[in-house]
Amino acid sequence: MVRAMGLAGLLLGLFLLPAVLVSTSFRHGALLTEPAPEPAEWELASGAVREDSLWPLPQWLRTSPRQLQLAPGRFQLVHGAGSSAGPDCGLLEDAFRRYYEYMFGQSWRGRRPLGAPRAEPELSQLQVVIEARDPGCHSYPHLASSEAYHLTVTEPVAILKADEVWGALRGLETFSQLVHEDDYGSFLVNESEIDDFPRFAHRGILLDTSRHYLPLKSILTNLDAMAFNKFNVLHWHIVDDQSFPYQSIYFPELSDKGAYSYNHIYTPTDVRLVIEYARLKGIRVIPEFDTPGHTQSWGKGQKDLLTPCYSGEHPTGSFGPVNPILNTTYDFMAKFYKEISSVFPDAYIHLGGDEVNFDCWKSNPEVKEFMKKQGFGIDYARLESYYIEKILDIVSSYNKGYVVWQEVFDNKAQLKPDTVVQVWMGNNYAHELSRVTGAGFTAILAAPWYLDYISYGQDWKKYYSVEPLNFPGSEKQKKLLIGGEACLWGEFVDATNLTPRLWPRASAVGERLWSSSNVTNLQDAYERLTNHRCRMLRRGIAAEPVFVGYCAHEARGQ
C-alpha cells in the first residue's frame, strides 16, 4: 500500500480549453434521416460553441451559442429526483467529487474572476438520474453493462440520465469536457443536448507488467487516462517469460523466485486496489496468464512445470513451454486458476496461447513417446491444442469465460462456443477476423493497434483511420466483433515513458471504438485531439504532444 500513497495528487484540476476551435451547431454520429427543425436559439454562432473539444465525439449532439455561467462555490453535482441511486451510492459520490475537481480544480479558491461580472445566466446543478431499478453502485462492470446516457444542459439545471451508473460515469466525463474557463477566470458551458452510447462494448488497453514492472501509481494514473478517453477494459498482461510479479496466495514461490525482486511484486492488496480503482471508473480488469509459452518465469518457482529440453539423449539444462504430458501440470493449473477466478471478479480470464515454440517439445523423448501414444504423429500443434483444451475445461469449471490469442483458433483447438478470440497478427487481420467470426466465435481486434511500435510523426492518424468492421463477412459476423484493444508491450516501456508513449496515441483508438463509424475527419480530429491532450495535461496525465504548438493554460501561466 506504500506504493499507492500520493494518488490523490494524480487527480489534478480543470483543463482550460484553447481559444481557437472549429465549431458546428449540429453534430451526430448516427445520421438522422429527417432532423427536426432547429429552434433559432440552436443556430450556429461562430466561435461561441466549444463542443469540438469533446473526445471521443458523442453519437449525437447539438450545442447552442447561449452560454451559462458556473459559480464553483455554488454549483453542485447531485442525485436527481427519481434516481434509483442516492447518497449511499459510493461510486457516484466518488465521481461527483472527482469531476468537481476536474472542472474547477484548485485555481478558483480564494480568487474572483478578473474583469467585470459576466451577464450570462447561471447553471446551478447537474442532476444525475439513474433509471434502472438496480443502479449498479456496488457491482462490477461487465460486457453487457449499459454505458448509454442522455445529457441536457439548459438553464438553470442540467440533467444527466443513464440506465446504469456506468452510463452516468461516461456522461460526467462528457459534461466535464463541455465546461471551460475563459480568459478572465469565469467558468462557462454552452447549452447543449447529447445522446450518446459506445459503438463497441469492449474498448481495452493492454499493459505489460512483466518485461518491466509498473508501479501501482503508474497503473492507476493510466486508469484515470482510460476513463478520460472512455476505455472500459484493462487487459492486464501481468506475467510473462521475464518475470512473475503476481503474488499468488496458493503458490507464493512463483513470485518469490520468479519476480525481479521482492520489491517488484503485486500483493493481493495491490491487486484488490487496482480492481476497485478501475471499478470506480467503470473499467473491467481482465488478467492474462499466458500458457503454455511465455512461461519461463513460472518454472523458477514451480518444479517440473516446464518441459526439459534435450540435445540428443541428454537434457540441456534449459526448459521450454509448460509440460503438457504430466498430470501434475493440470493439478497445478486447476488450483492456480481457481485462485485467479476468485481474485479477479470479471467474467473473463485471458489464457494467452500465443507464440508457442515447439523445438523443446520435439527434443524431449518423453513428449515424443506421448505424441505417438496419442496418435498426434509429428503435429505439435495438436499437442498444444490438447493442452489448451484441458486448460479451457479447468477454467470453465469455475464458471469463467476466456479470451485466447488467435493461434489457439488457428491451430484448430476444440473451442467452446463462447470463446473470445483476440486477433493480433498484422498480416491480413481482416481475413483472420472473417475466419474467426465465420466460425461463430466472438472476436476482439488488436492487430492494427500495437502502440509499442513507434515511428516519427503523427502515427495516431494511422490508428484513427482503421475501420474495425472492414472485413469480409455477413452482418451476423460483424456483430461478433465486440471491440478492440490498444496494446503497449513492455520491452522498451517502464514507468518513465509509459504514459507519454500511450497518450494521446491511444486516444485515437478510443474514439474509433466509441464514436460512430462516420466520424473520420482527420482535420477535425486533430483539433479536438490537440485540445484533449492539453486537458489530459491539466488533469495530471503526461501525454505527449500531437504536433507543434502550445496549450492555452500554459500561456496563462497555469
Enzyme catalytic residues: 355
Question: Could you tell me which residues come within 8 angstroms of residue 357 by beta carbon, excluding any fewer than 6 positions away?
Answer: 293, 320, 321
Ramachandran category for residue 294: left, alpha or beta (phi over 0 → left; psi -120 to 50 → alpha): left
Q: Which of 14, 183, 157, 180 is nearest to 74 (CA)?
A: 157
HSE-CB at 180 with a 13 A cutoff on CA atoms is 26
**Alpha-carbon span 471 to 467, nearest angstrom:** 9
Return phi, psi of residue 323, to 5°. -75, 110
Residues 6+ apart with CB under 8 A from 371: 377, 378, 380, 383
390 by Cβ neighbours in 10 Å (0-12 / 13-18 / 19+) ranks as middle
Contact between residue 65 and residue 45 where contact means Cβ atoms under 8 Å apart: yes
Phi first, then psi: what are they for 368, rounded to 5°? -65, -40
Read off the amino acid at residue 258. Answer: G
- Dihedral sign (CA 397, 398, 403, 407): negative
209 closest CA partner among 7, 488, 544: 488
Residue bearing cell 537434457: 315
Alpha helices in 15-129 (DSSP H): 90-104
